Amino acid sequence: MGVRQAIAGVFGILVIGSAATAAERLVLEPYPGIVWHDVVNQANGVHFFREQMPQGQTPDNFQDLLTAQSITNFSGSPSAFLSDAFTQLSQNCQTFETVGPTVAEEQGREVAYGRFYCGKQKDQALGAHLFFKVIEGSDALYVIDRDFRIPATDHPSAPTLPEDQAVSFLQAEGAARKYLTDQVYVCDPVFPDPKCTSEAVPTGR
């Protein structure tokens, strides 16, 4: 089982039993750069699951992935959820490193950031870098991850790449961190935020 499948397995367990909720909504602004398209976009009441890839990539050959979903039956904090996810993801990697969870407060909500670096997936010739943001909503946790596939490596956080690719890869990871921080957030009519008046794209509501 690959890391991408492992994530689906972790979340598949945790989303069972979702219920209806209030009018708050997770917002994903358009990802910078090339156009991304929906591979999966499903919603049922409060629960939603959305996967996006850049144009030209498919589930069979993707290198980049952006996933967002809501979790309603996890009673812990965003950092606790992320710690659990790291533990389960580690079981599918021969070598791995983690950064975080790092706890912060945004819009009066607790959030957690973290990065999971898989050097080599078990039984695969690939690794993955996964960048997470988990937001505590009023009735759900919102889990967003930006994923990169990498060649298998013994140095999970620093894969060996040609010099020109290494520079662009580091720039892409920096852009991913900035995107999660600045362009992914929750809009709630009870606690209005100025950025919620923009033309941001709502996800799952």
Average pLDDT rounded to a whole number, residues 133-158: 87
Largest CA distance in the chain: 50
Model confidence at 191, pLDDT cuts 50, 70, 90, reads low
Please give the mean pLDDT across all residues of the chain.
80
DSSP 8-state symbol, 6: H
* Residue with more model confidence, 177 or 15: 177
Q: What is the pLDDT of residue 192?
A: 67
pLDDT tens-digit series, residues 74-122: 888 999 999 999 999 988 898 899 998 999 998 888 999 999 999 888 8
Give percent of the chain with pLDDT exceeding 90. 31
Q: What is the pLDDT of residue 62?
A: 87
The domain that contains 37 carries what CATH number?
Answer: 3.40.1000
Q: Tell me what pLDDT residue 1 has.
A: 39
Mean pLDDT of all residues in 177-194: 83
Q: What is the CA radius of gyration of the chain?
A: 16
In the structure, what pLDDT confidence band is assigned to residue 199 with cuts at 50, 70 and 90? low
User: Does residue 205 carry a pLDDT above 70?
Assistant: no
Q: How many domains does the chain have?
A: 1
Give the length of the chain: 205
* Residue-number span of the structural domain to which 176 is assigned: 3-203
Condensed to tens digits (0 to 9), the pLDDT of residues 142-152 reads: 999 999 988 88
State pLDDT tens for residues 23-52.
Answer: 788 888 889 888 898 998 888 877 889 999
In the prediction, which pLDDT does 204 show?
44
Decide: helix, strand or coil at residue 128.
strand
Q: What is the pLDDT of residue 86?
A: 93
Cα dihedral: 117, 122, 127, 133 (round 10): -40
